[in-house]
Amino acid sequence: MSGVQTISVGGDEGEQRLDRWLKKKFPQLGQVAIEKLCRTGQIRVDGGRVKPATRIETGQEVRIPPLPDAAPMPARAKDRPLGPRVSDSDQQMIQAAVLWKDEHIIALNKPPGLPSQGGSGQGDRHVDGLTTALMFGYKDRPKLVHRLDKDTSGVLLLARTDRVARALSEAFRSRTTRKIYWAVVAGVPHPRMGTVRYGLVKAPGHGRGGEGEKMIAVHPRDIDATEGAKRATTDYAVLDALGTRASWCALVPITGRTHQLRAHMAELGHPIVGDGKYGGSGQENLGDGWGAQLGGEISKKLHLHARSLTFDHPITKKRVTLTAPLPDHMARTWKTLGWHENDVPDDPFADNE
């Protein structure tokens, strides 16, 4: 058992989450233990209370309480990759999801139904837990630099080094990246191109672990007066429509709030097809914009896909655009409705900026 320690954040360790920094320093600490130590104030940064997700900066002082000594690693296990064991089937699945990679970055076309990370109600099978299968000869597992909702598919980036992880994380925070999502929504938004500026505030879930939490839209005039509300902005454009019953939309999240696209489209009266949380009535949509199921041959799965991601490569400095094919259930919907991926511009907002 160690005593109380105070450790300075090194010059190459800033701009990362506290929990990740702790796990590197103290491999014996699990996520649950870190959350408890932060919650009880035993871990502090510059004397103040912090959360596991707090980003630390170079030169800050981190107080570490007495910790159990790390268990000795068996000799034959020292050279094994760190991280949970991945089954052969999961290894094949996650490697098949690789959309693009170089020496610094791996991009996945994340399958729908697979969480990005563990957490409340997410279970043990998630992208972060499968990264051992994405090392491809590197000594460290790649690191997630952003997330997609469990049921949202599409482009997801992982960094292969700490340096690149910090640079990409900063790019997402400073909004120098550009993400375009494709969605099928109930009804047809009017006007056919616009911006949603409703704020969002979190309503707690009813489960023991907070399961079922939901974002509530707040009118722009009420945001400042609503405790916990955060401003959120989404651009949308209708690309094609099935009469008045449903439409194919491109969505760009200018901000990155939880469930932002889903909550914003529902607030417009045009929830995303297959969205049981924000979809209003479960009945078949009759063209009035409510009811997130179209019925017939259309899948009941969420129809939200991170179609493309554009970013500045942290090392080469080149502008990179990655495009992810539609998941199977959305591809079948496109075929059923007679929509064609190549019939629309890559960025329908380009001429309006």
Which residues belong to the active site? 149
Q: Which residue, chain included where needed, has tokens 């009945």?
A: 283
Distance between CA atoms of residues 234 and 223, nearest Å: 16
Residues with Cβ within 8 Å of residue 306, at least 6 apart in sequence = 110, 148, 152, 153, 154, 155, 156, 179, 180, 181, 324
| Cα-trace Rg, the chain | 22
Which residues share a beta bridge with 237?
Answer: 193, 250
Residues with Cβ within 8 Å of residue 336, at least 6 apart in sequence = 296, 297, 298
DSSP state of 275: -
Map 232-293 to HEC letters.
CCEEEEEEEEECCCEEEEEEEECCCCCCHHHHHHHHCCCCECCCCCCCCCCCECCCCCCCCE
Which H helix or E strand runs over 163?
helix 162-173
- Amino acid symbol at 49: R
Q: Within 13 Å, how many C-alpha atoms sit on residue 188's CB side?
A: 11
Cis peptide before 191 (omega within 30 of 0): yes
The SS3 of residue 183 is strand
Distance between CA atoms of residues 118 and 240, nearest Å: 36
Cα 215 to the chain's mean position, in Å?
16
- 138 close to 105: Cβ distance less than 8 angstroms: no
Q: Which residue, chain included where needed, has tokens 């409705």?
A: 337
- 185 close to 273: Cβ distance less than 8 angstroms: yes
The SS3 of residue 182 is strand
